[in-house]
């Protein structure tokens, strides 16, 4: 270990290379999963139970295809999956802003979401980061209060505390008109939502649109550490259970509930596949360069030791035993370097996972559904992608350099020992 050419240099190269790969994979995985989680929290859920007729015409917000028996449906979902389920109502309406005389000053179509904003045990406020996104006012506490996107409020000239009217279609197809007080203004960081989104409490939405004990969606959420493949596995098991489920008595005869994962919605599956290809391409190039550097380090280390090899051969040590001993030595260097690199890269990735990196200014005008605070994600796959090349390159470089002794005479090896 005192010989830098034998230990310190290859160890450092392995450690740095493994650390960079582990940190890079963790950062890319964290950014990607941050986009997925943001989309799931705001819109699609990791899993979604929805009526197929509603899903087929979702752009029209057909409230007459909502699913009844909210309590019974919730109990079935909890029984058949270990997922946190939240009921929501997707609705669309005309938002009417009156002037001082009570006459229409401005109108615009809005898309809205009814969700549990008032229950003390609700996780929706935390999930949508509403407290952090609130730029003015407060969260809804009273009857018929709403949260409005700040850009929408700016266009309409609406201020906190002002009364507005929602004009829409009820469950039974009739026209509804209900007054709401603007309790607060929120900024989601997604331009399309800040310009058109309105949030109201689930109970208020059920009252306004005559959806007593009915919701349009059930959104399921996994813990942050859950892998994407687990989404599909739970979805398949729920679909099998759904086939044997006797529908609640209040459901319509043509109600067909379906279970979707986030991959099945908004072309997210294709985006996931493309991102994985890009991530694999970037990490592959980086890994190849690291392997090349480590390989060369092993070769250089072996060349500097030709004299030692000649001396060991002169004492009668077989060629194969010499190569095996050098390979074991390279393996130990790879193991120690990979362990050090994993500790270094994993610590950096863990720091970014727990603390994060604030890139709100960079994402402010991007329109991406991604948190302002970017976090890495420590995964087993990241360590594997760093450790395997570290071990392989160190051993392969040593063996490749050692194979050259078959082509050199012992006299030449001794001369290189004397020259060294």
Q: Is the pLDDT of residue 2 over 60?
A: no
> How confident is the model over 126-144, as a mean pLDDT?
90
Q: Are 11 and 344 in contact, with CB atoms under 8 Å apart? A: no
Q: Are 71 and 213 in contact, with CB atoms under 8 Å apart? A: yes
pLDDT tens per residue, range 306-315: 666 666 666 6
Among 203-207, 265-269, 372-376, whose mean pLDDT is lowest? 372-376
- The pLDDT of residue 184: 94
User: How does 363-375 read in b/e, with b if 16+ C-beta sit within 10 Å?
Assistant: beeeebbbbbebb
pLDDT tens per residue, range 24-47: 888 888 888 878 888 888 888 999
pLDDT tens per residue, range 229-240: 888 899 999 999
Are 312 and 413 members of one domain? yes
- The pLDDT of residue 407: 58
Q: What percent of the chain has pLDDT over 90?
A: 32
Answer whether residue 358 is part of any domain.
yes
pLDDT top residue among 68 and 406: 68
DSSP state of 247: -
Alpha carbons 324 and 326: distance in angstroms, whole number: 5
> How confident is the model over 293-319, as a mean pLDDT?
66
Answer whether residue 154 is part of any domain.
yes
Cα 152 off chain centre by: 28
Alpha carbons 181 and 169: distance in angstroms, whole number: 20
Q: What percent of the chain has pLDDT over 70?
A: 83
Are 15 and 117 members of one domain? no
Range of the domain at 95: 47-221
Q: What number of helices (H) and strands (E) belong to the chain?
A: 15, 12
Among 57-71, 158-172, 311-325, whose mean pLDDT is lowest? 311-325
Final residue of a structural domain among 221, 241, 257: 221
- The pLDDT of residue 255: 87
Alpha carbons 393 and 298: distance in angstroms, whole number: 8
Alpha carbons 94 and 166: distance in angstroms, whole number: 6
pLDDT tens per residue, range 91-102: 999 999 998 888
- State whether the Cα torsion 283-361-378-121 is positive or negative: negative
DSSP string, 332-346: HHHHHHHHHHHHHHH
Domain count, the chain: 2
- The pLDDT of residue 27: 87
- The pLDDT of residue 406: 59
- The pLDDT of residue 92: 92
The token duo for 186 is: 């929120």
Q: Is the pLDDT of residue 301 over 60?
A: yes
**For strand 104-115 and strand 163-169, is the pairing parallel, antiparallel, or unpaired?**
unpaired
Under the banding of pLDDT at 50, 70 and 90, the label for residue 109 is very high
- State whether the Cα torsion 243-244-245-249 is positive or negative: positive
Answer whether residue 237 is part of any domain.
no
pLDDT top residue among 411 and 72: 72
Among 227-231, 247-251, 330-334, 413-417, whose mean pLDDT is lowest? 413-417
Answer whether residue 293 is part of any domain.
yes
Alpha carbons 184 and 164: distance in angstroms, whole number: 13
- CB-based contacts of 316: which residues, under 8 Å, 6+ apart? none
Answer whether residue 230 is part of any domain.
no
Are 138 and 156 members of one domain? yes
pLDDT tens per residue, range 360-406: 555 555 444 566 677 888 888 888 888 888 887 777 777 776 666 65
- The pLDDT of residue 366: 46
Alpha carbons 392 and 18: distance in angstroms, whole number: 12
Answer whether residue 195 is part of any domain.
yes
Are 88 and 153 members of one domain? yes
Q: Are 379 and 276 in contact, with CB atoms under 8 Å apart? A: no
Are 64 and 163 members of one domain? yes
Answer whether residue 365 is part of any domain.
yes
Distances 258 to 115, 244, 261, 291, 398 between C-alpha atoms, Å? 20, 13, 10, 47, 57
First vs last C-alpha separation in the chain: 18
Q: Is the pLDDT of residue 220 over 90?
A: yes
Alpha carbons 43 and 28: distance in angstroms, whole number: 23
Answer whether residue 241 is part of any domain.
no
Are 203 and 62 members of one domain? yes
Q: Is the pLDDT of residue 177 over 80?
A: yes
Mean pLDDT of the chain: 83
- The pLDDT of residue 306: 60
Q: Kind and range of the H or E element at 54?
A: helix 52-56
Are 89 and 114 members of one domain? yes
Are 193 and 283 members of one domain? no
Are 286 and 405 members of one domain? yes
Are 274 and 395 members of one domain? yes
- CB-based contacts of 5: which residues, under 8 Å, 6+ apart? 300, 301, 304, 305
> How confident is the model over 337-352, as a mean pLDDT?
91
Among 124-128, 186-190, 236-240, whose mean pLDDT is lowest? 186-190
Among candidate residues 328, 299, 346, 276, the one with its CA nearest the CA of residue 18? 346
Q: Is the pLDDT of residue 359 over 70?
A: no
Alpha carbons 303 and 403: distance in angstroms, whole number: 11
> How confident is the model over 314-330, as a mean pLDDT?
74
Final residue of a structural domain among 221, 249, 282: 221
The token duo for 110 is: 């809005």
Are 207 and 277 members of one domain? no
Are 195 and 293 members of one domain? no
Dihedral, 349, 354, 355, 356 alpha carbons, nearest 10: 60
Q: Are 147 and 86 in contact, with CB atoms under 8 Å apart? A: no
Cβ-based burial of 187 (10 A; exposed 0-12, middle 13-18, buried ≥19): middle
- If DSSP codes are grouped into helix, strand and coil, which group holds residue 101? coil
The token duo for 315 is: 């004492």
User: How does 130-150 read in b/e, with b if 16+ C-beta sit within 10 Å?
Assistant: beebbeebebbeeebbbbbbb
């Amino acid at each position: 270990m005192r010989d830098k050419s034998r230990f310190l240099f290859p160890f450092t190269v392995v450690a740095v290379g493994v650390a960079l790969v582990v940190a890079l994979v963790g950062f890319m995985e964290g950014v990607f999963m941050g986009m997925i989680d943001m989309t799931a929290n705001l819109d699609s859920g990791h899993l979604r139970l929805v009526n197929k007729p509603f899903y087929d015409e979702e752009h029209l917000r057909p409230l007459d295809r909502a699913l009844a028996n909210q309590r019974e449906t919730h109990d079935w979902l909890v029984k058949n999956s270990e997922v946190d389920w939240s009921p929501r109502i997707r609705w669309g309406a005309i938002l009417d802003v009156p002037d001082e005389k009570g006459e229409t000053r401005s109108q615009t179509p809005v898309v809205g979401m009814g969700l549990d904003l008032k229950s003390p045990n609700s996780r929706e406020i935390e999930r949508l980061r509403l407290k952090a996104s609130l730029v003015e006012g407060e969260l809804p506490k009273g009857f018929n209060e709403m949260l409005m996107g700040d850009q929408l409020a700016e266009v309409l000239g609406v201020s906190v505390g002002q009364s507005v009217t929602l004009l829409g279609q009820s469950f039974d197809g009739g026209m509804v008109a209900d007054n709401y007080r603007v309790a607060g203004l929120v900024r989601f960081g997604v331009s399309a939502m800040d310009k058109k989104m309105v949030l109201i409490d689930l109970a208020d939405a059920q009252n306004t649109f005559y959806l007593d004990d009915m919701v349009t969606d059930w959104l399921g959420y996994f813990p942050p550490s859950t892998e994407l493949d687990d989404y599909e596995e739970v979805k398949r098991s729920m679909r099998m259970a759904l086939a044997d489920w006797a529908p609640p008595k209040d459901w319509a005869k043509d109600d067909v509930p379906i279970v979707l994962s986030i991959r099945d919605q908004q072309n997210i599956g294709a985006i996931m596949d493309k991102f994985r290809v890009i991530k694999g391409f970037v990490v592959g190039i980086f890994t190849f360069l690291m392997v090349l550097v480590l390989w060369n380090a092993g070769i250089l280390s072996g060349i500097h030791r030709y004299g030692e090899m000649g001396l060991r051969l002169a004492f009668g040590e077989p060629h194969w035993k010499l190569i095996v001993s050098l390979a074991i030595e390279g393996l130990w260097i790879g193991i120690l370097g990979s362990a050090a690199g994993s500790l270094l890269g994993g610590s950096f990735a863990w720091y970014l996972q727990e603390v994060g990196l604030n890139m709100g200014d960079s994402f402010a005008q991007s329109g991406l559904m991604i948190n302002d605070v970017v976090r890495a994600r420590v995964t087993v796959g990241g360590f594997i992608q760093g450790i395997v090349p570290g071990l392989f390159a160190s051993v392969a470089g040593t063996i490749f350099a050692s194979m050259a002794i078959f082509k050199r005479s012992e006299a030449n090896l001794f001369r290189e020992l004397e020259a060294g």
